[in-house]
Chain A
Amino acid sequence: MTQNRMDTRPDESDVTQPTLGPVGMLRWAWRQLTSMRTALFLLLLLAIGAVPGSIWPQRNIDAARVADYLSRHRGTGPWLDRLGFFDVYSSPWFAAIYLLLFVSLVGCVVPRSKLHWRAMRAQPPRAPRRLERLTEHGQIEVDAAPEDVLAVARDVLGGRKVLGEHRLGGRYRLRSDGLSLSAESGYLRETGNLVFHTALIVVIVAIAVGHLFGWRGDRILVTGKSFSNTISAYDTFDPGPWVDTEGLSPFSVAVDKLDVTFEEHSGGAQRGAPRDFTAYTRTQASPGAPEISQILKVNGPLTFGGTSVFLLGNGYAPVITVRDAHGQVLMHEATPFLPQDANYKSVGAIKVSAASPKQLGLFGFFLPSEYFDKDAGPSSFFPDLKNPALALGVYEGDLYPQGRPQSVYTLSTEKMTQLRNAKGDPLRLLLKPGQSTKLPGGRGSITFDGVQRWAGLSIRYDPGKVLALGGAVAALAGLIASLMIRRRRVFIRVRPVGGRTVVSIGGLAKGDDPGLGATIEDLLSTIAHRTGTV
């Protein structure tokens, strides 16, 4: 980020101003964009622009909360939506800020790298005539000859031989010039600074790579089942624009058992908090490969090459058998229900498409620890299976009107009617494991056989993540170098005075350098000591 130079041109207000051509305008715009002032402004804008994403719900994190917000704020909601407040991090204005910052970053790094390259190969400048004008300076008189004093100074500044507790701030590059010596150190400060900024560019590129070539898939897997890594196996699949969806790594994962522990001993807000999730899996890297038993935990993903399988959720899948009036099994399977609260009150739908003459649909709640709440109806008091129960309403009619795609967890009831009991109230079933009940009107029976758990797996592939980590670590290293290393120039001048030598030392630092004075003092005393003048 180049700093504005002082304008040394004569005042042109009286003269006819030359007009800026298109190239001149571009040059001017580029200067403005890459100036430090603009970079600072963009940085602050980035900070402010990121904040709304933490206040309003975001579609990419929780689309349901966004829909809920929109339904509750009918006035302001649509406007916020139009301004991108629910997709802050993919909104055009947020992209504008970081792209401008990116350009500014490149515009800062490139010219500065050139300058630094030249500076690193140049000699330190000549010593100024009057060293006492420098902010840090000192002077002594010693007995030795001028050449000997300069030799000692060269020795101390040029080598790593540091006496006692003297901290001379690293190794100096030297330039001898008759009776004066110039020394400069701390080139790594600028190197670190450039590494930091370049590494940030690398991180941004890595994020872009991950976005373009990476993908994410989610799958709810009931224990005892397995899935293989193909698009059709996923409940949701979210590929980057340049992903080859045919070329996914052909691994498969089966979950045999899922152990879940919740807090039972502590009271208050901690009661029922999750404590441990462990999935026991069998995996195959490819269809012919040997089967391996592996443990999948919350902080311990499974990896297949660059693809990782994470355990991000869990829940219950009640096993239900539906029979027709003749006792013929129409359906027998475990249906995953989605947890709605911390106590795993879960919602789900059982779709019996084989039922005739009309299809049957059951919709309602699974409650791992059932109790009846006066206001909320059937509820759960604990997330583990202390008193499992199913509370269902029954519908009949057309399950899939016009074959439209629909969620497996809800029932589309527009072409269905709810069954009623003899009194004419909506029929509600409450089943415990092992219980069966007959449906009214000879529609058959339904049995709640038992409960299985399911594991919510998230499968991710991000080819940019290693590059992002490398960039971030390099940025940190560069940052530390640029903040901790001091850029210093030390000048030494010797003057013979009647058999003795007057040694003057002056120091110059870039930025604040509180240790420079002490360094010069150390250097003076070292010269005095080595030349035998104590």
Chain B
Amino acid sequence: MTNEALAQYANLAVYSAMAVFTIAMIAFAVDLAGAVPTRLAASEIRKEPALVGADSSVDAPALPPPTDDAERSRKAAGIAMMLTRLGALLLIAAAAMRGLSVHRPPLGNMFEFAVVGSMFVVIVFVAISLRRDVRWLGLFVIGPVLLTLGLAITVFYTDASELLPSLKSVWLVIHVTVATFSVALFTIAFSVTILHLVQSWLEEQVAHDPTAMSRLRTIVNTALPPARSLDRTAYGIHAVAFPLWTFTLIAGAIWAEQAWGHYWNWDPKEVWTFVIWVIYAAYLHARATTGWSARSANYLALAGFGAILVNYMVVNVFFVGQHSYSGM
């Protein structure tokens, strides 16, 4: 009962999105490479924009104009953002056509999780970009998306087909959609966390001896927001993703109760979902504990994302359990 032609169009849309994202990624990279500090001194004392503002009238410190972005032309970033939006539309079309071709939500196997997950990542990125300037993040979001799509279309590819009886439930839409969406958020948060670690390392170097920095390091240091701001962004995304992951866990338990007879069966997928939950819970606790630096808490966040990758790529394929829906 599957519509093969429509499924083919869906694949075509995925390929097109990949082509578009490739160009977008190059454009993002070109844009970042253009962040050559014209004045090293300015980048050194550049402070966080958020701190300025409340009392600029009274005793504003003598800062240079907030950023150098206004000065340098960011045509490449503009093109990249346009292409990212186009790619997002293509992925939405791909997911929709895949779903229509099999008359069900496209959330039944690893290929479909990967496409829908990438779609969510790009949509969230575009949504954030409407409110804040996140052009610096583009490369680090589109890169992983491209990698995921490449894996999806080659390694994880599964022909469009119907679902197993245990998957035929409204909870598929509720549980898997939210799971995929929170993984998308965790992915973006992961990129920002890595950037935070890089930037705080570079800032230490700048503070130590700015003249000893290599050109590449200076560019990266200039192109990225300050470490404190990166850290706050990462924490903010994690703080949204974690309740969603909690919801995923609860919705999964409700569904398991209906499909398998008990809400918790220690199935490998459940175990890893729980492990991920516990690691990110530890991350949030570490953030709230005095005596833990943001950096060591962020290592926990990285470990959490590592567990997400295991949950998606290792558990689905190699572990025997009731979640063996990889379709491979």
User: Are A299 and B232 in contact (CB-based, < 8 A)?
Assistant: no
B contact residues, range = 35 or more
- Min C-beta distance of A430 to chain B, whole Å: 32
Q: Which of A138, A458, A472 contacts B58, CB < 8 Å?
A: A138
Q: Is the CB of B258 within 8 A of A47?
A: no
Q: Which residues of B contact A15 (CB under 8 A)?
A: none
B55 contacts A138, C-beta separation under 8 Å: yes
Q: Are A472's CB and B290's CB within 8 A?
A: no
Partner of A266, one of B161, B258, B292: B161
Q: State whether A275 touches B169 (Cβ < 8 A).
A: no
Interface string of A64-97 (1 = CB under 8 A from B): 0100000000000000000000001100000000
Q: How far is the CB of A189 from chain B (nearest CB, A)?
A: 11
Binds B, one of A146-154, A368-376, A411-419, A511-519: A511-519
With A54-B315, A476-B243 as contacts: A308 and B165 at CB distance below 8 Å: no
Contacts of B274 in A (CB 8 A): 47, 50
Is B263's CB under 8 angstroms from A521's CB? no
Decide if B165 touches A465 in the complex (CB within 8 Å).
Answer: no
> With a CB–CB cut-off of 8 A, which chain B residues contact A299?
165-166, 168-169, 171, 255, 258-259
Q: Give chain B nearest CB distance to A456 CB in angstroms.
A: 11
Interface of chain A residues 441 through 488 with chain B (CB within 8 A): 458, 460, 462, 465, 468-469, 472-473, 475-476, 479-480, 483-484
The answer to whether B272 and A54 have CB atoms under 8 Å apart is: yes
How many pairs of A and B residues are in contact by the CB < 8 Å rule?
A: 167
| Least CB distance, A52 to chain B, in whole angstroms | 9
When C-beta atoms are compared, the residue in chain A nearest to B48 turns out to be A514
- Please, how many angstroms separate the alpha-carbon atoms of A192 and B73 in the complex? 47
Contacts of A267 in B (CB 8 A): 159
Contact with A along B261-287 (1 / 0, CB 8 A): 111111110011011001101101111
> Can you name 14 A-B pairs with beta carbons within 8 Å?
A3-B290, A43-B278, A50-B271, A54-B321, A269-B327, A270-B158, A275-B165, A276-B168, A469-B254, A479-B242, A483-B239, A483-B284, A512-B235, A514-B232
Enumerate the 8 nearest inter-chain pairs by beta-carbon distance, A residue then B residue, closest first: A54-B268, A298-B165, A310-B261, A54-B271, A47-B278, A299-B169, A266-B161, A138-B55
- The interface of chain B, by Cβ under 8 A from chain A, is 1-2, 50-51, 53-55, 57-58, 158-159, 161-166, 168-169, 171, 232, 235, 239-240, 242-243, 246-247, 249-250, 253-255, 257-268, 271-272, 274-275, 278-279, 281-282, 284-292, 307, 315, 319-321, 327-328
Could you list which residues of chain A lie within 8 angstroms of chain B, going by C-beta atoms? 1, 3-4, 36-37, 39-40, 43-44, 46-47, 50-51, 53-55, 57-58, 60-62, 65, 88-89, 136-140, 207, 216, 263, 265-270, 273-277, 297-301, 308, 310, 312, 458, 460, 462, 465, 468-469, 472-473, 475-476, 479-480, 483-484, 511-512, 514, 517-518, 520-521
